[in-house]
Amino acid sequence: MNDSNAVHFYKPDEGHQLRHDPFKAIVAPRVIGWISNCDPDGHVNLAPYSFFGAFASFPHIIGFSSEGFKDSIANIEATGEFVWNLASKPLAEKMNWTSATVPREIDEFELVGLTKAPGVNMAVPHVAESPAALECKLLQIIRLKSLDGTPMNNWLALGQVVGVHIRREFLKDGLFDTAAAQPIMRAGYRGDYAGIGEMFEMIRPLPCSPARAASTAAFNARMLVWNAMPLITEVMSEILRGRIDFAHCRDHAADRFATGARGIGCRCRELIRLRRVGRVLLHGRGDLLHARRCFFETAGLRHDARKPGRNSVDGKHQPADIVIPRGR
Write out pLDDT tens, residues 287-311.
555 655 665 555 554 444 444 443 3
With CA atoms as reference, report the closest residue to 31 among 170, 130, 122: 130
Position 198 scores a pLDDT of: 81
d(CA 239, CA 229): 16
Q: What mean pLDDT is reported for the chain?
A: 78
- At position 47, the amino acid (one-letter code) is A
Classify residue 148 as left (phi > 0), alpha (psi -120 to 50) or beta: alpha
d(CA 137, CA 68): 21
d(CA 80, CA 38): 10
Residue 39's pLDDT band, with cuts at 50, 70 and 90, is very high
Helices (H) and strands (E) in the chain, counts: 11, 16
Within 13 Å, how many C-alpha atoms sit on residue 44's CB side?
22
Phi, psi angle pair for 314, to nearest 5°: 55, 40
pTM comes to: 0.65
Is 117 within 8 Å of 126 (Cβ atoms)?
yes
pLDDT in tens, 257-282: 444 444 444 444 444 455 555 555 55
Is 286 within 8 Å of 274 (Cβ atoms)?
no
d(CA 22, CA 26): 6
Q: Is 57 exposed, middle or buried (0-12, 13-18, 19+ CB in 10 A)?
A: exposed
202 vs 245 pLDDT, higher one: 202
Give the 3-state secondary structure percentages of the chain, helix then strand then coil, rounded to 5.
Answer: 35, 25, 40
- Per-residue b or e along 62-89, where b marks 16 or more CB atoms closer than 10 Å to that residue's CB: bbbbbeeeebbbbbbeebebbbbbbbbe
Position 200 scores a pLDDT of: 82
Position 197 scores a pLDDT of: 82
Is 81 within 8 Å of 124 (Cβ atoms)?
yes
Sequence-separated (6 or more) residues with CB below 8 Å from residue 101 = none
d(CA 85, CA 62): 12
With CA atoms as reference, report the closest residue to 187 among 31, 47, 15, 33: 31
**From 52-56, 160-164, 313-317, the region with the lowest mean pLDDT:** 313-317
Sequence-separated (6 or more) residues with CB below 8 Å from residue 136 = 62, 81, 82, 83, 84, 159, 160, 161, 162
With CA atoms as reference, report the closest residue to 227 among 199, 258, 272: 258
pLDDT in tens, 77-109: 999 999 999 999 999 999 999 999 999 889 999
Position 190 scores a pLDDT of: 86
